[in-house]
């Protein structure tokens, strides 16, 4: 918008020079003159010194390189974007004065951003802030359902976007459409769009959500870049498609949505397939299944043909041959076992002779040992005329100088006590 500077004619004074006013009367007169002369005015400038009172009213200054004017925005006045120092805006309102401080000010009824540059700067700063919070992360994106049965649409019920979505869905695939009516332009648009997203997530009555609006000026699309809308889209547990504006239009909701569509019609095309594509997909699937089944059948047939089926007679003869082999093997094994058993029995039959020989040998050994014992016995010595001398303790006295008194003498045929 161009700012027009005009040279206005100097008004004729209507107060007599010699009239004396009180301060209050003079202030009231000036207030009346200003408000009458400027019942509506639009001013473009840069905001500064923005403050919000506890009452909810906002006070600030709008300025340019040469002047500054006080500005008041009463509580309840629509403000469609966040006010920041340095933001260039166009305000619409009326001039008035404030007698208590003897200054003039503008009471704002409408406020808008001045030019695309200021809007883009604001959007870029907001985008960086929300991206830093992770609201645009790819890991948050959810896949769209393959064949949704119910689609929730957040848009204006009278807008062309809703009609385009319905028409395209009707052409492609029959589904149920649930509309959440919301204004898509103006002060209340952002809150209503966010409320629609939150409603579907609470009710959980749809499979996917489309947030849509037709094309328009950048200022008209700003509600879809408000933080309340972006945060609602990022927090949605139901997959969400953003179809706002046209292909070149990128709003911040596009970054938070699970899928961004270039237009509302494009959103409808993304959410459901066409009947023809489904039929083609089913045909392709059938051909793949048919080819797979045919291949498996051919392989099974080849395996069956490779199997050699023998006649019952041949099978019987082979079994008989196998039995003959087993019989021969058993005969060999049993014959060996019998031979071993006979050898063992023969060895057992000779056992009495072996035992008799062993007894004879043992008797001879015993006799020999007996003879040796007799030859070594002291009785044989006594038989040759010797005697054994013992003392009273029955101890043998072998020497004369032992100093012991003999108590008995043992001869071969008896013992004599002394």
pLDDT by residue (tens digit) across 152-201? Answer: 999 999 988 999 999 988 888 888 999 999 998 888 889 999 999 999 99
Q: Which pLDDT tens digit goes with each residue over 73-94?
A: 999 888 877 788 888 888 899 9
- Which burial class, exposed, middle or buried, applies to 76 when counting CB atoms under 10 A from its CB (0-12, 13-18, 19+)? exposed
The b-or-e profile of 376-414 (16+ CB within 10 A means b, else e) is eeeeeeeeeeeeebbeeeeeeeeeeeeebeeeeebeeee
pLDDT at 4: 47
Residue 98 pLDDT exceeds 80: yes
Segment 34-60 mean pLDDT:
88
**Closest C-alpha among 120, 72, 297, 346 to residue 219:** 120
Residue whose C-alpha is closest to residue 28's, from 81, 99, 111: 99
- Residue 238 has which token pair? 């139901």
Distance, CA of 207 to CA of 176 (rounded, Å): 10
**Which pLDDT does position 152 carry in this prediction?**
94
So what's the pLDDT on residue 323? 84
The answer to whether 83 and 50 are in contact (CB under 8 A) is yes
Which pLDDT value is given to residue 206? 94
Residue-range domains of the chain with CATH? 23-114 (2.40.50.140), 123-137+148-272 (3.40.50.2300), 387-417 (no CATH)
Question: In sequence order, what are the beta bridge partners of 51?
Answer: 59
- Mean of per-residue pLDDT scores for the chain: 83
Average pLDDT over residues 387-399: 80
313-339 pLDDT per residue, tens: 777 888 888 888 888 888 899 888 888
Residue 232, pLDDT > 80, answer yes
Half-sphere exposure (Cβ direction) of 372: Cα atoms closer than 13 Å: 6
Chain position carrying tokens 């019989």 = 327
Structure tokens at 47: 């905001």
Residue 51 tokens read as 């403050």
What is the percentage of the chain residues whose pLDDT exceeds 90?
24
Task: Note the pLDDT of residue 10.
Answer: 59
* Tens of pLDDT, residues 58-77: 999 999 888 999 999 999 88
Q: What whole-number distance in Å separates Cα of residue 188 and Cα of residue 182?
A: 9
């Amino acid at each position: 918008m161009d700012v027009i500077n005009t040279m206005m004619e100097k008004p004729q004074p209507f107060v007599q020079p010699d009239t004396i006013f009180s301060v209050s009367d003079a202030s009231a007169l000036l207030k009346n003159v200003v408000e009458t002369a400027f019942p509506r005015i639009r001013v473009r400038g840069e905001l500064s010194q923005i403050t919000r009172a506890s009452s909810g009213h906002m006070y600030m200054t709008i300025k340019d390189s040469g002047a500054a004017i006080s500005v008041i925005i009463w509580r309840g006045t629509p403000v469609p974007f966040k006010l920041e120092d340095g933001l260039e805006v166009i305000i619409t309102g009326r001039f008035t004065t404030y007698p208590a401080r003897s200054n003039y000010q503008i009471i704002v009824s409408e406020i808008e951003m001045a030019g695309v540059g200021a809007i883009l700067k604001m959007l870029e700063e907001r985008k960086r802030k929300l991206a830093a919070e992770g609201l645009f992360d790819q890991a948050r994106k959810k896949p769209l359902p393959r064949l949704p049965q119910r689609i929730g649409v957040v848009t204006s019920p009278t807008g062309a976007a809703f009609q385009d979505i319905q028409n395209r869905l009707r052409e492609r695939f029959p589904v149920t459409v649930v509309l959440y009516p919301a204004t898509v332009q103006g002060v209340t648009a952002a809150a209503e769009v966010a409320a629609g997203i939150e409603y579907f997530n609470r009710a959980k009555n749809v499979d996917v959500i489309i947030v849509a609006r037709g094309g328009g000026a950048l200022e008209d699309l700003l509600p879809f870049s408000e933080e309340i809308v972006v945060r609602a889209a990022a927090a949605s547990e139901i997959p969400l498609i953003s179809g706002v504006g046209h292909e070149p239009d990128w709003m911040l909701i596009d970054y938070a949505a699970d899928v961004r569509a270039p237009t509302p019609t494009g959103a409808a095309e993304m959410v459901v397939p066409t009947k023809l594509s489904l039929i083609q997909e089913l045909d392709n699937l059938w051909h793949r299944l048919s080819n797979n089944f045919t291949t498996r059948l051919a392989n099974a047939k080849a395996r069956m043909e490779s199997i050699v089926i023998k006649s019952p007679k041949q099978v019987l003869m082979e079994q008989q041959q196998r039995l003959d082999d087993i019989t021969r093997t058993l005969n060999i094994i049993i014959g060996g076992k019998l031979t071993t058993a006979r050898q063992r029995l023969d060895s057992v039959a000779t056992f009495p002779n072996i035992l008799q020989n062993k007894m004879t040998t043992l008797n001879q050994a015993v006799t020999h040992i007996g003879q040796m014992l007799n030859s070594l016995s002291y009785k044989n010595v006594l038989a040759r005329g010797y005697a054994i001398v013992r003392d009273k303790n029955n101890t043998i006295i072998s020497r004369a100088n032992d100093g012991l008194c003999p108590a008995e003498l043992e001869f071969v045929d008896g013992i004599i006590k002394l």
